[in-house]
Amino acid sequence: MEDLDARLRLFDEAEVDEIQIPPTDRTFSEEEIIDILRQQIAYLLDHKRDWLLGKLYRLDIREQDIKIALNLPNEPPSQALARLVVARQQERSSTKRSVDVEPLDPDGEFGDLIW
C-alpha cells in the first residue's frame, strides 16, 4: 500500500511510545496496517480518548461511523476504528490522484497572505 509511512504514523503527535512501528522497508498487507493502527488506537482509547476522537474528526471520519464502531457487538472498537481510518486514508489517496488542483497564487502576487 502506498503512503505506508504516513498511514502508520497518523498518531505520532500523541506520543504513543508504547507502540513500536515496524521498519517500513517492506510491503505490508492492509490487514497488517490495520493491526498496527489497532494497537495504537487501543492505547489511545484507554489513555488519550479525547485526543483520539479529535484526530478522527480531523481525518474527516464521520461521527456516526465512529459511534457505530465504538458499539459493535462482535468487533473490538480499536479494530473497527482502525478499519475506518484505513478506508478514509484510501479514499483521500484516491481523491488526490484523481483531482488536479491549481496553485492558489501561481504568480506570487499575494505572497504570504494566501492561506
Domain of residue 14, residue span: 4-97
The answer to whether 60 and 52 are in contact (CB under 8 A) is: no
Does 105 fall in a domain? no
Question: For the whole model, what pTM was predicted?
Answer: 0.71
pLDDT value at position 1? 43
Provide the sign of the torsion angle of the four alpha carbons 68, 70, 75, 81, taken in this order: positive
Does 42 fall in a domain? yes
60-89 residue pLDDT tens: 999 999 999 999 999 999 999 999 999 998
Does 114 fall in a domain? no
Does 104 fall in a domain? no
Number of domains in the chain: 1
21-36 residue pLDDT tens: 666 677 778 898 899 8
Does 115 fall in a domain? no
Cell numbers that stand for 113 in this block: 497572505
Does 113 fall in a domain? no
Q: How confident is the model at residue 17 (pLDDT cuts 50, 70, 90)?
A: low
The residues, any chain, with a CB within 8 Å of residue 81's CB and separated by 6 or more, are 38, 41, 45, 56, 66, 69, 70
